[in-house]
């Protein structure tokens, strides 16, 4: 009977083209608007490292001013001072920790025709790649000893390797950065965590840096911070070394803590570090240390803007309005077909047969609405891309994947079926005799 109902559904759609088109349009527009926002929300709020998000922790210690909290009501700073980042890194060497900051370098390619260009670089410690599961195309991360020995080694992004070496295996090659020569030890494969959770201070949805080098080398060579830097008291004119010893926050710190016991031990470690620092006259505020796993950190940092959440609510409401319209249109259609319903009842159709027939017809409308919805979602996302084309991260937000496409169709079909329930129930409740004598 399914094929028969399918045929009847198609015939009915063809017999009422205007009404059917209106229903498909109502569902399609609703789905299109909703899915456009959902797609953006889905990408923005996605878990960038689901397999480890529960055990990777952003580390915060409250070294801020005694007079005011870093953020109301009593939030500790989002980043760390150099003193604390390196102090904790060294004191906690039995924990797996990573410290890092954003900088920039000028790359001087070989050959007279090639002009120097500036890139973002990330100074970090060797465990960065393992902790965040960064994929390598060639080579591997530098070693712990390279960190200690301040070796001039670098890991290139796939894009930079493409630009400098045409995508070839460049392990062992030298790259000139600001007049200093660095040896390539690794080349990353494509890697684009969205959002860029490990550093939310500097463009939540930006590309990862194009080049990675040891933290120790960056500091020894006085690489400045190219990211957000905040200070609660001046650090004088002592140059780079004064900056390192200041209360300015500019370094991100993460720890991998696989068990609850490890997490407790790390909290105690932070508390004892800060308590010790207090004896040295630092940390004027009460103990206020935090560790937050990836999803908590994304929430604390409000990566998904409230406006987007509100838009999502509005888009859902819009879909509901479209569905209410569809219910109205379906009711109108049912009312036009009471004679057909009565006749079929008289010829032996049970209520459940008619219910199946009308639900399948609604499903067909839903599929058509879903397809239109996907097209409109694509158009909506293209529109957003064009509107915000100057912001490079937008291109990563407006990608549709199969999950979203299937979700759109599924949502459309479920919506159409939901919209069809009441009209179909009305249709099935028509007394067979009521319409058969009306001429």
Partner 1 sequence: MLKMTNVSKVYRTDTVETHALREFSLQVDEGEFVSVTGPSGSGKTTFLNIAGLLEELSSGSYELDGRDISKLSDKERSRVRNEKIGFIFQSFNLIPELNIFDNVDVPLRYRGFKADERRRRIEKCLDMVGLASRPKHFPAQLSGGQQQRVAIARALAGEPRFLLADEPTGNLDSAMADSVLDLLSEINNSGTTIIMVTHELTLADRAKRNIYVRDGQVSDEAPELQLAVAGGQG
* Rounded Cα distance, 344 and 8, in Å: 12
CB of 410 to partner 1, least distance (A): 30
Per CB under 8 A, 391 contacts partner 1: no
Which residue, 16 or 178, has its beta carbon nearer to partner 1? 16
* Rounded Cα distance, 379 and 185, in Å: 43
- Kindly write out the interface string for residues 183-222 of this chain, putting x where it contacts partner 1 by CB under 8 A and - elsewhere: ----------------------------------------
Contact window for partner 1 (CB under 8 A) among 216-224, 348-356, 370-378, 402-410: 348-356
What's phi and psi for 64, nearest 5 deg?
Answer: -80, 180
Per CB under 8 A, 282 contacts partner 1: no
* Rounded Cα distance, 371 and 367, in Å: 6
Run of H or E residues at 27: helix 17-44
Distances (CA, A) of 54 to 70, 100, 201: 26, 21, 21
Q: Which of 233, 281, 352, 402 contacts partner 1 by CB under 8 A?
A: 352
* Rounded Cα distance, 301 and 16, in Å: 52
Per CB under 8 A, 17 contacts partner 1: no
Per CB under 8 A, 433 contacts partner 1: yes
CB of 46 to partner 1, least distance (A): 47
Which residue, 284 or 432, has its beta carbon nearer to partner 1? 432
Per CB under 8 A, 425 contacts partner 1: no
Which residue, 17 or 166, has its beta carbon nearer to partner 1? 17
CB of 7 to partner 1, least distance (A): 9
Greatest distance between any 2 Cα atoms in the chain: 100
CB of 431 to partner 1, least distance (A): 7
CB of 277 closer than 8 Å to CB of 108: no
Per CB under 8 A, 410 contacts partner 1: no
Q: Is the dihedral of CA 361, 362, 366, 368 positive or negative?
A: positive
Contact window for partner 1 (CB under 8 A) among 7-15, 85-93, 107-115, 326-334: 7-15
- Kindly write out the interface string for residues 301-340 of this chain, putting x where it contacts partner 1 by CB under 8 A and - elsewhere: --------------------------------------xx
CB of 302 to partner 1, least distance (A): 56
Per CB under 8 A, 14 contacts partner 1: yes
347-381 per-residue burial string, b: 16 or more CB within 10 A, e: under 16: eebeeebbbbbbbbbbbbbbbbbbbbbbebbbebb
Interface residues for partner 1 in 85-144 (CB under 8 A)? none
The residue assigned the tokens 């990211």 is: 227
Q: Which of 277, 353, 394, 396 contacts partner 1 by CB under 8 A?
A: 353
- Listed in sequence order, the DSSP H helices in 292-399 are 294-300, 306-336, 338-346, 351-387, 394-397
Q: What letter does residue 416 receive in the DSSP assignment? A: H
Q: Which of 287, 314, 403, 436 contacts partner 1 by CB under 8 A?
A: 436
Per CB under 8 A, 345 contacts partner 1: yes
Which residue, 115 or 438, has its beta carbon nearer to partner 1? 438
* Closest-CA residue to 68 (of 256, 244, 224, 233): 233
Per CB under 8 A, 18 contacts partner 1: no
Q: Which of 90, 259, 279, 439 contacts partner 1 by CB under 8 A?
A: 439
- In angstroms, how far is CA 57 from the centroid of its own chain? 18
Binding residues for partner 1, total number by CB under 8 A: 26
Q: Return the bridge partners of 119, or none.
A: 105
Contact window for partner 1 (CB under 8 A) among 18-26, 141-149, 302-310, 346-354: 346-354
> DSSP per residue over 252-310, as a string?
EEEEE--SHHHHHHHHHHHHHHHHHHHHTT---SPP--EEEEHHHHHHHTT-S-HHHHH
Q: What letter does residue 75 receive in the DSSP assignment? A: B
Per CB under 8 A, 344 contacts partner 1: yes
Per CB under 8 A, 287 contacts partner 1: no
Q: Which of 207, 321, 332, 343 contacts partner 1 by CB under 8 A?
A: 343
* Closest-CA residue to 23 (of 335, 318, 369): 369
What's phi and psi for 140, nearest 5 deg?
Answer: -155, 175
Name the site residues for partner 1 (rule: CB under 8 A). Answer: 1, 4, 11-12, 14-15, 339-340, 343-353, 431-433, 436-439
């Amino acid at each position: 009977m399914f094929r028969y109902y399918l045929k009847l559904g198609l015939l009915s759609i063809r017999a009422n083209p205007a009404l059917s088109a209106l229903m498909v349009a109502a569902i399609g527009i609703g789905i299109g608007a909703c899915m456009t926002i959902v797609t953006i929300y889905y990408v923005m709020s996605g878990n960038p490292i689901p397999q480890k998000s529960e055990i990777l922790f952003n580390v915060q210690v409250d070294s801020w001013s005694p007079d005011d909290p870093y953020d109301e009501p009593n939030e500790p700073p989002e980043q760390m001072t150099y003193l604390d980042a390196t102090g904790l890194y060294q004191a906690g060497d039995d924990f797996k920790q990573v410290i890092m900051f954003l900088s920039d370098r000028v790359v001087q390619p070989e050959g007279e025709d090639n002009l120097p260009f500036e890139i973002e670089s990330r100074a970090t410690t060797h465990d960065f790649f393992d902790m965040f599961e960064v994929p390598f195309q060639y080579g591997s991360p530098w070693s712990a000893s390279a960190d200690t020995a301040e070796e001039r080694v670098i890991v290139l992004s796939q894009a930079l390797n493409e630009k400098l070496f045409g995508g070839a295996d460049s392990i062992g090659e030298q790259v000139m950065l600001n007049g200093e020569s660095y040896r390539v030890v690794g080349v990353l494969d494509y890697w684009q965590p969205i959002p860029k959770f490990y550093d939310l201070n500097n463009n939540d949805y930006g590309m990862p840096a194009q080049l990675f080098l040891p933290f120790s080398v960056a500091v020894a060579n006085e690489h400045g911070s190219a990211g957000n830097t905040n200070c609660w008291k001046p650090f004088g004119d002592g140059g780079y070394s004064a900056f390192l010893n200041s209360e300015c926050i500019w370094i991100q710190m993460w720890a991998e803590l696989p068990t609850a016991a490890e997490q407790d031990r790390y909290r105690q470690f932070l508390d004892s570090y800060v308590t010790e620092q207090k004896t040295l006259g630092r940390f004027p505020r009460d103990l206020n240390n935090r560790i937050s796993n990836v999803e908590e950190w994304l929430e604390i940092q409000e990566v998904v803007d409230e406006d987007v959440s509100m838009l999502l609510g509005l888009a859902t409401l819009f879909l509901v309005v479209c569905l209410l319209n569809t219910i109205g249109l379906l009711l109108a259609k049912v009312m036009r077909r009471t004679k057909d319903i009565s006749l079929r009842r008289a010829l032996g159709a049970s209520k459940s047969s008619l219910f199946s027939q009308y639900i399948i017809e609604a499903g067909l409308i839903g599929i058509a609405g879903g397809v239109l919805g996907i097209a409109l979602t694509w158009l909506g996302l293209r529109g957003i891309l064009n509107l915000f084309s100057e912001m490079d991260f937008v291109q990563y937000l407006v990608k549709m994947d199969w999950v979203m496409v299937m979700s759109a169709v599924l949502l459309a079909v479920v919506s159409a079926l939901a919209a069809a329930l009441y009209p179909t129930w009305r249709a099935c409740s028509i007394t067979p005799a009521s319409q058969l004598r009306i001429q």
